[in-house]
Amino acid sequence: MERAEKAFADIVAERLEQLGKRAYAVEKDYDLPPDAIRNVLRGAKKAGTPLNRARQICDALGLEFYIGPPREEGRLYTTEINGEEFASIPRYDAQLAAGGGAFNDEGEPISTLAFRRDWLARSGISPASAYILSVRGDSMRPTLYDADLVMIDTRRKQVRNRRIYAFVDRDGEARVKRLEAIPGRMILLLSDNPDHETELREGPDMDSLQLLGEVVWSAHTWLDQVHTKTPEAS
């Protein structure tokens, strides 16, 4: 096994152990070819792992796949609280769902939220590839409410059916929906709120969808949803 391939195999093996998952289970969950990960672990490919396959494996395991000049974390930093390390995830002033225009992360974040690094690692989330936006509208209730916060993992751009994704739609609006892909035919945009109908994107409209990433965390504030029960008349 070549040195680079051996290093890749070691990283994959370590990541599987961190996640507590078996290779075949990850292959099945992420629609990878049978033995795609196991071949890496066994060093079965004499020519090494093709770059596209390596990228797919990294996406499935929550590993960053990057080729290019050395990079700095820049906007991210680590802080320690009571002996625990936390990573800061940027929050941007943009909303997902009922409109508001396309989102881009080139501006300055309005704030950051701190997450434990060990939780991020177990969840397969790279702090450098995540950001936080707010939800607008009620189409995803009861899963996501208006003004909820969501974390987007920008590395997870391969549709896994019925998971929730942030995306820029054909008209340039940034939205959040469950997606279901029928390869070569259409993508279904599914709302959790039964009052909202399923939308279809076919042909050019399907190709025009720009995935921002998968929703991997959300936060909800209950203070604005306190309901009082009206006493019954006696």
What is the model's pLDDT at position 232? Answer: 47
Contact 78, 117 (CB under 8 A): yes
Decide if pLDDT at 104 tops 60: no
Task: Please give the average per-residue pLDDT across 112-140, as a whole number.
Answer: 89
Can you name the CATH fold of 78-219?
Answer: Umud Fragment, subunit A (2.10.109)
pLDDT (tens digit, 9 = 90+) per residue, 51-102?
888 888 888 887 777 776 655 544 455 666 666 788 999 998 877 764 334 4
> How buried is residue 1: exposed, middle or buried, by Cβ count under 10 Å (0-12/13-18/19+)?
middle
**What is the C-alpha separation between 191 and 187, in angstroms, rounded?**
13
pTM over 0.85: no
Out of 75-89, 141-155, 180-194, 214-228, pick the least confident: 75-89
Percent of the chain with pLDDT over 90: 31
Higher pLDDT, 223 or 212: 212
Contact 140, 192 (CB under 8 A): yes
E-strand ranges in 98-232 read 111-116, 130-136, 149-153, 163-168, 174-182, 186-190, 199-202, 210-219
What is the model's pLDDT at position 228? Answer: 42
**What is the C-alpha separation between 93 and 73, in angstroms, rounded?**
21
- Angle, helix 3-19 to helix 51-61, in steps of 10 degrees: 20
For the chain, give every domain's residue range.
3-61, 78-219
Task: Please give the average per-residue pLDDT across 27-44, as a whole number.
Answer: 87
Give the mean pLDDT of the chain: 82
Decide if pLDDT at 200 tops 90: yes
